[in-house]
Structure 1
C-alpha cells in the first residue's frame, strides 16, 4: 500500500541505447556544425528510417523538455547529462511533429517509451530528421565507445564511463 509513496530511484546504467530505429552516424557526420564540431558535447546520432517510436537512450531523471518538444535533457545516475535532440532546426516547427509523454522530474529507464516523432511531417517541412544523443558535461566523461550499424529503438549502441 505504501509503495505508491516510495521515492523512485534512478537506475545505474552506463549503456547508451538507440532512441529510434535507424542508421548510426558519428556526430562528425551530422550536417549541423553545433553537433558535428561537438560544441554541445560528444555522443552519436541516428538517422531514422521509418518507425516513429522514441525511447530513452539512457536511464535517468528528466531535467528539461523544451517547450517545442524538440529536445529533452536527462541526468544519469553516474552524473552525466544527456541531451536528446530531435531533428535539425525542428525547433521552428513549434512542437507540431512531436508527441512527448514525459515531463520534467520524471524518472525514466533506458529504452522507456518517450513518445513519437512524425518523420514525414518533418521531411515535408524541409527539415532533417537526424536525432542526436549528446553528453553535455564533458568534464565528467572518461570514455565513450559506440558501434556503427543499423539499430532498432532500444538497441544498445555503446557505453560510457565517468571520471
Structure 2
C-alpha cells in the first residue's frame, strides 16, 4: 500500500509535467499559426510570369494561376498564324502558372514539419491541409475546327438559304 502523501506528490509531479508539455505545444501552435499567416500573406502577393521562347507572348498570373496580364509583341500577328499564336499564348500562360505554383510551394514548404494539431486533438484541422497551395483549374480544351461542309454548287454568295438559293 502506498502512502497517500506520496501518491499525491506523484500525481502532482505528473500533472506539472503534463502542464509543461501542453504549454510547449501551445507555444509551438502559436508560433506556427503566426508563421502560417505570414506565409499566406506572402503567397497572396506571388505572381508568375513567363515569356515565350520567340518573345512574341508574355503572360503574368496570380498565385492561383489565373491570367492577369497578357502582352503580345507588335510583330506577333505578322510573324505567326492565329492558330500558332493561340497555342503559344496557352503554353506561356501555363508556364507562368507553373512558376507561381512553385513560388507558393516554396513559401509554404518550411511550414510542413513539426507537430501537427490534428495528431494532438481529434477533429482539429491539419496544418498540411491549410498549407496546400491552390490548384489552378484545368486548362480548357483546345478548340478544334468542326467538320467542313462542301459548298453547294448553286451557292456562290453564301446566302443561298436566305434567298432560297436563287436570285
| Fold match (TM-score > 0.5) | no
TM-score range (shorter-chain normalised) is under 0.3
Q: With CA pairs under 8 Å and 6+ residues apart, which has the higher RCO, 1 or 2?
A: 1
| Larger helix percent | 2
